[in-house]
Amino acid sequence: MITGNVLGPVVSGIAAAAVAASASPAVAAGGGGLRPVVERLTGPDGAPGALARVDGRDGRQVAAAGVADVRTGAPMNPRSRFRIGSATKTFTAAVVLQLAGEGRIHLDAPVERYLPGVVRGADNDGRRITVRQLLQHTSGLPDVLDHLSPLEVLKDPLRHWDAQELVDIALPHPREFTPGEGWGYSNTNYLLAGMIIGRVTGHPYGDEVRRRVIVPLGLHDTFVPRDAPGIPGPHPRGYVRPGSDLVDITRLNPSVAGAAGGMISSAADLDRFLAALLRGRLLKPAQLREMLHTRPTGRASGSAYGLGLQWLPATDRPGCPHGFWGHDGDMLGFSVRTAATMDGRQATVMVNLNPGGGPALDEAMDDALPTALCGPARPPAPEAGG
């Protein structure tokens, strides 16, 4: 679910997991340029393991480093599946936009039209907040993750969480701003978007994601697992560090994230999904334009957010003069970054530690994706008179 404050970022294109223990050597398939990326992610202050993948017209690079399992020392498999956290939001938004293209959802209609009585409050938020504002994080609704501690989830990681239950945790708290007058990342928005998909289609959001996205694109590593706590196929263990020690949180009921962050995928599938999305294979031209119509987030990165996709500038990266599109994703045990350029390159980075990695790993993750996708940053210009 879950970018931001509690669970950390997730991105496709590169996957990395790192532990503070010594890492095994990086392995790569034509991925010499990615080796430094994954080795930094699994360094002394990093995660147990990490993986990265870049796809483009010039071919493919894949690299992995560190371990998938700190108990057995098994190496990280670059073909691993993992929890993708908030990168799920892009899949959810794509389904909502498909329904908009079919005339079944109107982006500027109030949430109340589709979920009567669900978004309550003294200001009748459900009558004021639109579907578009949910997808763009301009609703002002509080983020459920500000009011649900990861420690509470860790106490009973296999319990089921209903989307309505999670929304009800968030809604009693003050609104961040008047709808449409600010920007604030909130997982509550996408829990509601998933509920709208269910109400409009009569099927759980995951069934619609599978029918409309996963099957048509042949994403064989991608799943919406509902309550299933395991990760099918080859996968690393996922870890958190609530204190000084690592805790294995691989088995987790993903209903705690739902349409905001509950999916499983791989670097290969995330790259394929973003490529198809930006090339117009999933959305009609009008809906793709809506998705890519952004507003500034106000973050120091200079990012702007569309409908389930974020744009980031890369002015210090000669390989990405026009920036790139993607999404972060954090879920207990995993941190992901995924992104693509409009000229046909995609990258994903993943680490199997979240949260608890510390500032050094956070900094490495922030640099990993643009380095993999766009190349190293341009050296700073020398100071005048230097």
Catalytic residues: 86
- The distance from CA 274 to its chain's CA centroid, rounded to whole angstroms, is 12
- Distance (Å, rounded) from C-alpha 241 to C-alpha 210? 33
* Bridge partner residues of 62 (DSSP): 29, 53
- The distance from CA 194 to its chain's CA centroid, rounded to whole angstroms, is 15
- Distance (Å, rounded) from C-alpha 271 to C-alpha 338? 8
Triad 279, 91, 354: Cα angle to 5°: 120
- Distance (Å, rounded) from C-alpha 312 to C-alpha 25? 31
**Paired tokens of 323:** 């920036």
3-state secondary structure labels for all residues of 40-104: HHCCCCCCCEEEEEEEECCEEEEEEEEECCCCCCCECCCCCEEECHHHHHHHHHHHHHHHHHCCC
For residues 371 and 31, the answer to whether their CB atoms sit within 8 Å is no
DSSP assignment, residue 109?
A: S
Q: How many CB atoms lie within 10 A of CB 214?
A: 21
Q: How many CA atoms lie within 13 A of 162 on its CB side?
A: 3
Q: Is 360 exposed, middle or buried (0-12, 13-18, 19+ CB in 10 A)?
A: middle
